[in-house]
Amino acid sequence: MKTLLMAALIATTPLPPLNPQALQSAINDLDHPAATSAQLRVDGTAGTWYGTAGTADQHRPVRPDDRFRIGSVTKVFVATVTLQLAAERKIDLDQTVQHYLPGVLPPNLEPVTVEQLLNHTSGIPFEVDMPDLSTPEKVLEHRYDRWAPGERAEHIPNTKAKFTPGTQQEYRGINYVLAAMVVEKVTGHDYGREVDTRIICRLGLRNTYVPGRNETALRGSHVHGYLNVPGQGLVDVSDINTSRSYGEGDMVSTTADLTKFSKALFSGELLPPKIQEKLFTLPEVSMVDGRDAAYSTGLQTFTLNGVTVWGKTGEQYGYNAGMFSTRDQQRRIAYSFTPTARDDSQQQMTLRIANAATS
């Protein structure tokens, strides 16, 4: 395993002052990508700023306490709980998933460890015979589908792994579905209860929660997400069952709560030092496309404008979110926007935000 030099030294090079005009400009363009709202919170020892653009429901402005779906930022919560259980010797990160969840993975699949789930080196092949969600119409058709725990795993084909586990890296949502199942197996509780007890209640994240598997509506004040459906225009998809994304993309939060969580996680409030270091340690492998590994045991990392940050991006239909911080916490970033198409155009907003927050 290797730790990036910047992370290992916990660099203290002063960051440039925040540029409020650049930050606001980054979220003001709701045409590239097409979106109905955006909000950005920048926090840390090097300065604080918060701004919004667009409307929460096509009528009123976005408010700081408006909830939104955080998509794959959920994975950071699941990884944190799993690492807490490892620190308590209730989960062995080097033990196999097959040990904790006998019969869940297909028999022809090579042994996969819990840590290989968390750092996306499992090699688990893509699920087959899944519902077609390739168009907005198909998303609407399946928006209320309810998935039971383990049902995603039933769609893993009974073949060899895509690569020998631990030798390459490929980002896969199923890894965290399985990690959440391991948490449930060793604790006897829903993964959401463990997240609530160990993180949400502990930190006072009053606007963060794990939806119930029958729950579709967002609780309380929230930003609405929309999809642009041919022939129908913008259709509100805030009301949707996210149980298919169980453990990997189903949680709800706010920029303030994500900032508070990030601060606690990076400050060592939630994990002992030895285990916490895994958050900032990349496996010594390459991605399947040849790029350097970008995912640690729980986070992802990138360097832009000479600034290295760690955190996670997330998507859900009608929503895009992210939570990042420099390791020294000079700069923490939490954002959300509501794109009306789920495609690569979303990267335009995230890149603008990243540039404005790191330069």
Q: Hey, what amino acid is at 14?
A: P
The answer, yes or no, to whether residue 168 has pLDDT greater than 50, is: yes
Q: What percent of the chain has pLDDT over 90?
A: 95
> Does residue 173 contact residue 71 with C-beta atoms inside 8 Å?
no
pTM: 0.96
Residue 57's CB: how many other CB atoms inside 10 A?
17
Please report, for the chain, the start and end positions of each structural domain, with discontinuous segments joined by +.
Answer: 2-11+18-358
Helix axes 255-267, 74-87, angle to 10 degrees: 30
The strand pairing partners of 314, in sequence order, are: 321
Q: Is 353 helix (H, G, I), strand (E, B) or coil?
A: helix
Residue 26's CB: how many other CB atoms inside 10 A?
23
Residue 73's CB: how many other CB atoms inside 10 A?
26
For 126-151, the pLDDT digits (tens) are 999 999 999 999 999 999 999 998 99
328-333 average pLDDT score? 97
Q: 8-12, 176-180, 187-191, 343-347: which range is least confident on average?
A: 8-12
- In angstroms, the CA 36 to CA 342 distance is 13
33-49 average pLDDT score? 97
| DSSP state string for 243-288 | GGGTTTT--EE-HHHHHHHHHHHHHTSSS-HHHHGGGGEE-SSEET
The answer, yes or no, to whether residue 6 has pLDDT greater than 60, is: no
Name the strand (E) or helix (H) holding 174. helix 174-187
For 287-316, the pLDDT digits (tens) are 999 999 999 999 999 999 999 999 999 999
Angle at 170 between CA 77 and CA 325, to 5 degrees: 40
Helices (H) and strands (E) in the chain, counts: 12, 14
- Report residue 201 CA to chain centroid gap: 20
For 149-159, the pLDDT digits (tens) are 899 999 999 99
In degrees and rounded to multiples of 5, residue 75 shows phi and psi of -60, -30
The reported pLDDT for the residue numbered 12 is: 61
> Does residue 164 contact residue 110 with C-beta atoms inside 8 Å?
yes
For 84-107, the pLDDT digits (tens) are 999 999 999 999 999 999 999 999
For residue 175, give the nearest of 197, 198, 194, 152 by alpha carbon: 152
Q: 4-18, 111-125, 235-249: which range is least confident on average?
A: 4-18
| DSSP state string for 13-76 | PPPPPP-HHHHHHHHH--BTTBEEEEEEEEESTT--EEEEEEBSSSSSBP-TT-BEE-GGGHHH
> Does residue 117 contact residue 176 with C-beta atoms inside 8 Å?
yes
Structure tokens at 276: 């916490």
Specify the CATH number of the domain 2-11+18-358: 3.40.710.10
Beta strands 168-169 and 286-287, pairing class:
parallel
